[in-house]
Structure 1
Amino acid sequence: MSVRLLITDAMWDRIKPLMPLDPARGRRWADHRRTLEAIAWKYRTGSPWRDLPKELGPFQTAHKRLLRWAADGTWHRIFTAVLAEADAAGDVDWTVSVDSTVCRAHQHAAGARKGRRRPGRARRDHALGRSRGGLSTKVHLASDARARPLAVVVTAGQAGDAPAFTVVMNAIRVPRPGPGRPRTRPDTVSADRAYSARAIRSHLRERGIRAVIPQPVDQVRNRLRRGADGGRPPGFDPDTYKVRNSVERCISRFKQWRGLALRADKLALAFQAALHFAAVLIWLRG
């Protein structure tokens, strides 16, 4: 069987220094590159773990590595390091767009044990929600103007977009070379009408971030009905708003991976880790 590999030599040269070192005691890690290819193959094709080709090693190795590195923060650390490298090179466009997408959940995603949430453990609901369409997970994300993810957050599928906005914004943390705080403040944030809330506009104003968010028709009518008490309309730049499609294109890049478009993971921890891994490859591919 011939397996189409995803990680090029140039991409591996950038990932390799970020991978965990062999433990000081005990067995050495299996080949990291083969393990990453195995995880990428599973989520790119949407196949069960047990169908992993033999050329990519035992499926238990790849599955355990995915969960272990999710629990200890390795995936998030690699993602953050790639962002920091891109920002240091001036490759990040800080005209940011925010949106969300619903990922249907396979019936195999249900059934994980639900209990009290502990530090470092998966969230209690495992980011699964039930609505008219069945089980689903919602992925909230922020992308730069070149359709590359800056932050990814998962919630239950029925969760609203506006309540998750500040969570997504707080997840944007790009370290800078040398001492100093990470960059957390974009120049501009574009979002659709679902994010046209007073709390969101106030949050961006307090942080000195320019908001480009259109008002829904009902909000416009209510403001006009109140006359002078309705105040002036919020600023809106239609030319900058045209760049908002970057987040839609970013979502499309994620959903090219069938294992992300249709969630089969029981744990939110694993699904979030796969999203971070896909985000790393999106940045490395440019």
Structure 2
Amino acid sequence: MGGGTSVVAGVHREQPAALRFDALAQAEVGLRLASGSLYFRLDLDVQATTAPFGLPAFGLPAFVYPTWSLPTPGIKIGPPEWAMLQIGREDHHLRLGIITHPIGIEDWDGWNNYFPTTSTMISTVPGRMLGVEPGLVLGEGYEINLFGGFDLDFDAPTFGAGLTTMQPLWSTWSGVALYPSIDFYSAVVALELYPAEALSVSIDGSVGLVGAADEAGAIALNPWVGGEIIANVLPKVAIHPVFRVQALHEPEGALSAFLFAPQPSVSASAGLTCTPFDELKISLEGKASRVEDDILPGLFALVALRRPEPPPYAAK
């Protein structure tokens, strides 16, 4: 068993003349069971948010969050992050149930991320899917997955593929997700590079198409392309700096319209992460985002207490 709890709080400028405060708490219980060729994983999250003065919690764009995790004031229990039975634990397997695909750098759980806030890119990756995922593990730990089912967060059928590996000098969590019924198509290339002990570099890029109705009511597919780069300096030191730059190019505001809020065209973050021991993480982030013609700054903090658990694909 594993799991943890985290609290993220932030003060940020929602518009040129308005400051606001938001806070989000999350707790997770995780369970792993394995016997012979069978492996079961359950991850259940509970969220609580606060929004002073009756305002919606976590206003975009200064505080970006996954579309499948839109916070609302109060306590929220969503579908499990994982509720999956895996058959086969060697070079091939079949997963059945609710699956969260390892696509993209940023994770559903705050304690796994480099910063208290997430980037726009996390809103372009697939959500929790009820379906099937066959997979094949190649030599040297390269895992290829195909998936198909119903995305519980996008509320639409989906299918796609992913590639995951963790190597001494680099790792990747890349893939594609297709949603024909809502005219949304996304491809993600997520890499981590480990050129030296003093530095790790994360690169997360997303490109896609999203449908929008024209004046005649016909659906036209509009593109977007975005990405972020994260420099994690002295990552093995208990207190170390982290830097991030994010950019998004979306002709006709395609992605902003899909996410129901204007997204930052450019944002920059600088922060400090403190991990005095594996079970505790504290991080601070100063962030500035350009949204339309405004520069919106913010200051955010994360405190996370967790019990380490096996990685998502440690089934072998």
The TM-score with structure 1 as length reference comes to 0.28
The structure carrying a bigger strand percent of its residues is 2
Q: Relative contact order, CA 8 A, sep 6+: which one is greater?
A: 1
Q: Which has the larger radius of gyration?
A: 1
The structure carrying a bigger helix percent of its residues is 1
The TM-score with structure 2 as length reference comes to 0.26
